[in-house]
Chain A
């Protein structure tokens, strides 16, 4: 197992190196650039030239990349030019990462807590009204555009009913920051109002972000349970006279969960893509919102750090899923 993990980690370094090169070149091939974004509509040819030279953007790409690589290896990824100008790009990642993790955690929790039981129940009551209704709801979850759903949720629950905040991560209350996971910070410092306020800010974005993973997990669980229910060993268990509870819990659900775990892993990795839109419409200051802002400002340093870090997260999550897979299914371990 250890060799497997080490090998995968070494592969990750290779993947990240190639990605950094491709990303570096791709960003600089995009029309527009940092200089335009900084100077805006006041730019003159002289000021443009001066700034391009000062930032070293006039040098050949390989020189720029080599310099970037040398800096990056010492942990210096450059300063932001647009998201938080002057701020160390890696620090922006550190500041924003907890927000996205917190949001993604709640989103995937909602998706799992609703998707697996509903998928299981739908399969058990196949072709019933409940099954059909659940399938339709999951289809809507995939089909409705995120920004539209977000707008509706905000309109009803925040503007009309006033139950939840419209956007942001926390009200402007006096809250102590420890880990930058706001809910956790509130619990750790016993600032219950801060924890509750941060939790309320998470509800609508987490629901929005959970719709697609929910739909996918629901459908995979349903299909997987249906498949397992037809297996011989279920019939054997039934014929042995085992109770329904044991058959469902130990035989059906456990076997049906294997593809679901893989799916959850993939969904966690894919959450970042959803987070870009969700965080933007909820003005939720996480990685996704920073990515969108960095892209519109052509903030090279921040884009590079965030994309690389996201890629590393994706690879690590996949690795964890593989390890989990081995833990859940003994057959994988022996292979």
Chain B
């Protein structure tokens, strides 16, 4: 009896297994020509290297249409697929010709003539020309209400308005003079143009694919957005094209664009493996299953290098600051109090002990690679006695300061917020300031708290979008409403006006001098917040990886990368 039952079980199991095996069709036979192995005859593979470069990404991409994206993880991928009129010179934050070979402004800076590269094709075979450029700009300008409110974030931020919108856009029109000449006209001059065109969001996309994929049809779906078919099937002119996004396995595969107009990519495939946990990314690198990952913890840099990996340090293109809200804490209305707090901060020690190697003490609200940086400004000296005296003079001895820092986050300019806060608050307490600690999760009330003016002082920072002074100080203090609450001070309106005027100077040399003077004024007269430091973020590549140049804008290109077989 028992034997019979056992036998029945075994037979049933075997029958089910046999029935399962082969009961579905494998796709391999039918699609093998288009899969990741297809590029194995590539340059690197032919020379004995690996045909795949695998990158450990920290998060999933938003959408593959860069126009609707705003995060680094998406741009890292789309940058390999798309190109803009202007590109970024490797290793710097400077603009260089990409799909436009040159550009020339009119005397008033309102009309820009772009001479386009000829013989370029999108990966769907469509020609890149002036008509394509104008189609792209008109497409970006004409967005529905839903897209205007959220997804078209970078256009809203840089061009300010959309077609038919309440706010006038900087963009006016685009005209295709001939195949090789596109003329873009602005409503107002801004120093951000044309350098803003280095942003991934302004990449050139195939007009045919945009039309066929109904690219502008972003819809609201519940409390999120639903993107059209195009957003998952992007078509650009870059060295790679999207092969597949395997959402169930969290990998994105790109294959080489064999018809690329420039030098072909050295490695046939790029795989982005999404690994949110930083220590797991490190273990994957150590196991050799990924070739590189971004933002290694600065505490791991040495260990990673000792293990034979290369830590590629990016030039710092960011700023960490301590924000102050004079509206919330009336004592901060007095510039002497703000200066006293600044003098109390031992930033040399902070940079030496809490920030990664290569970090610098900030002397103003922008890094030294930006035109308009004032080289004559010196860092405010650490002076405890001077700070105490100034605080006394202002009648703010023993003042209370509610000072906030975020938890559950690490930013390139602020690798460990709590340690930085610990050091700075100890400095403030040393001059008699009573520091009240406030901490909230980054997305769990911290950013909201800063925006809603809930804290007296807080830690935050900024990584530049492109190389422009206005992208730093214009963003911080330019608008009528800003995090620093400058509108509540006696200098706020003047500063905002000065920023607008400087941003409107067409002559580059004159504008740079004006920004230098304004930086001095901000630091010596206004001091709306306290710039702390610039930290160089890094990325790490494993053994056998060559040809990767670190970018201050995290705009690394992977077409030059080779991976030797280990």
Contacts and interface: CB of A to CB of B under 8 A. Distances in A.
B226 A281 contact: no
Interface in B236-257: 246-251, 253
A51 interface: yes
Contact of A167 (B157, B247, B275): B275
B462 interface: yes
A33 B442 CA distance: 10
Given A76-B221, A168-B275, A188-B24, A42 B157 contact: yes
Contact of B20 (A34, A177, A182, A184): A184
A68 B224 CA distance: 12
Contacts of B284: 166-167
B275 A283 contact: yes
A146 to B, nearest CB: 13
B447 to A, nearest CB: 5
Interface residues of B, number: 78
A184 B248 CA distance: 14
A44 B479 contact: yes
A41 B222 contact: no
Greatest chain A CB density within 10 A among B32, B448, B482 is at B448
Contacts of A208: none
B25 A176 contact: yes
Contact of A189 (B26, B148, B479): B26
B271 A56 contact: no
B91 to A, nearest CB: 25
A172 B273 contact: yes
Given A85-B225, A167-B275, A172-B36, A188 B21 contact: yes
B35 interface: yes
Given A44-B479, A78-B224, A282-B280, A185 B443 contact: no
A274 to B, nearest CB: 16
A34 B248 contact: no
A189 B22 contact: yes
B223 A57 contact: yes
Contact of B226 (A53, A56, A79, A297): A79
Contacts of A77: 222
Given A54-B149, A167-B280, A32 B20 contact: no
A159 B451 contact: no
A11 interface: no
B467 to A, nearest CB: 17
Nearest to B30: A176
Contact of B460 (A41, A44, A167, A298): A41
B275 A180 contact: no
Given A46-B481, A283-B277, A81 B225 contact: yes
Contacts of A182: 248-249
A167 B249 CA distance: 11
Contact of A283 (B17, B253, B280, B460): B280
A152 to B, nearest CB: 11
A32 B280 contact: no
Interface string A70-110: 01000011111101111111000001101100000000000
Interface residues of A, number: 84
Contacts of A40: 70-71, 447
Contact of A45 (B35, B157, B451): B451
B286 interface: yes
A310 B523 CA distance: 55
B327 to A, nearest CB: 13
B225 A151 contact: no
A300 B70 CA distance: 20
Contacts of A45: 451, 481
Interface string A38-63: 11111111111011011111000000
Greatest chain A CB density within 10 A among B153, B222, B250, B461 is at B222
A190 B25 CA distance: 9
A53 B22 CA distance: 52
B283 A53 contact: no
Nearest to B146: A54
Interface string B53-76: 010000010110000001100000
A158 B288 CA distance: 10
B153 A47 contact: yes
A68 B222 CA distance: 7
A96 B175 CA distance: 48
Greatest chain B CB density within 10 A among A32, A47, A172 is at A172
A158 B287 contact: yes
Contacts of B27: 174, 176, 189
A172 B28 CA distance: 14
Interface in A176-213: 176-178, 180, 182, 184-185, 187-191
Given A43-B451, A45-B451, A158-B287, A34 B253 contact: no
Nearest to A165: B289
Greatest chain A CB density within 10 A among B31, B63, B146, B149 is at B149
Interface string A291-303: 0010011111100
10 contacts: A36-B448, A48-B451, A77-B222, A81-B224, A84-B60, A166-B284, A168-B250, A172-B251, A289-B276, A298-B444
Interface of B: 17, 20-28, 31-32, 35-37, 52, 54, 60, 62-63, 70-71, 145-146, 148-150, 153, 156-157, 220-227, 231, 246-251, 253, 271, 273-277, 279-280, 283-284, 286-289, 408, 411, 440-448, 451, 460-462, 479, 481-482
List the 7 closest pairs (A to B, CB-CB), nearest first: A78-B222, A31-B445, A54-B149, A79-B224, A79-B221, A189-B26, A86-B227
